Amino acid sequence: MSKNHSNSFISTTCMLTSFLALLIFLVLESHIVVVSATQCDPNVFNATSAPLQQIANTSMSYNITINGTVVVTDGCTFTVQNFVYYYAAPLSFWYGSNDTNPTSPAVAISNMTVTQSFVPSSIAFKLDNQFSFSDFSVLKLISTQENYVIAFAQLRSSPTSKNSNNNGNGNSTQGKSGATSVIIDWNLLKYLMIDPAIIEQRRIATQLGPCPKGGYHELRSHYTYGSLFWAFCFGLPRCFGYSRKKTVCRNCNATFEGIAFPEPGHYNLPPPSQQKQ
């Protein structure tokens, strides 16, 4: 086979495999939107409670004290009973995760700021409309300014368990397990097909918390289509190198810029004090 024919064959093969990968991407993208649309319903919930477990000990050189018990009171609300949180870290918000590890991915699930509480109090927090308690198993309190986890409460043991998880009242949490497993497979496929830095920068953006002045986050991602080419034509499981990211707060003129690394959990993000106003 001549060199020209060989190059033509390789190019055609790469185009076909990239097209197939893109087709799978679009199919799964449409599917994942359906399974992840879990808007909360106040009347659908499992009564659950879990103690807060403190992780961070200091904030801005002050000793943090935090304790209380998280109680799911309805499908859209949880209450922290006997809540004490003093020398509170600035810009503290509740996040949902499926792992107690402080560096594991987490998504902001409530836009209500968590402030200091010097005496034991019962404080209720609302989930944002697009989330439900079936979306996460661990509730984390994160300071978006200092970018670390203050405390967490493990609401249930495993979000992907296909067995019924009784919570003491005879109810089970079986219905969400299949959808969760699809999400996990989808994330794995993203790592194989698309620049992993994009996934990381989306996670970083969620850690910035609500925009000031009533603004909202607009994610601006740069997809690296070359990763499709390299993965499917040359067998490389992931693309390498850095990817620029920009997350813009619309309506408030705040811009966050940095470098997103391919490996999850490693990134360079300026604190909110260095926002571009």
Q: What pLDDT digit, counting tens, does each position of 22-44 carry?
A: 555 444 443 333 224 378 999 98
SS3 74: strand
Local confidence band at 9 (pLDDT 50, 70, 90 cut-offs)? low
Range of the domain at 98: 49-175
pLDDT of residue 115: 92
Q: Give the residue from 175, 208, 235 where a domain finishes.
A: 175
233 with 215, same domain: the answer is yes
Tally of domains within the chain: 3
Residue 1 placed within a domain: no
Q: What is the dihedral of CA 116, 118, 123, 129, to 10 degrees?
A: 10
Residue 122: other Cβ atoms inside 10 A:
14
Give the residue from 110, 142, 175 where a domain finishes.
Answer: 175
The better pLDDT of the pair 199, 78 is held by 78
| Main-chain phi, psi angles of 126, to 5 degrees | -100, 140
Same domain membership, residue 255 and residue 210: yes
DSSP 21-66: HHHHHHHHHHHHHHHH-----TT-----EEE-EE---EETTEEPEE
- Judge whether 9 lies within some domain: no
Per residue in 102-158, pLDDT (tens digit) is 889 999 999 999 999 999 999 999 999 889 999 999 999 999 988 889 999 999 985
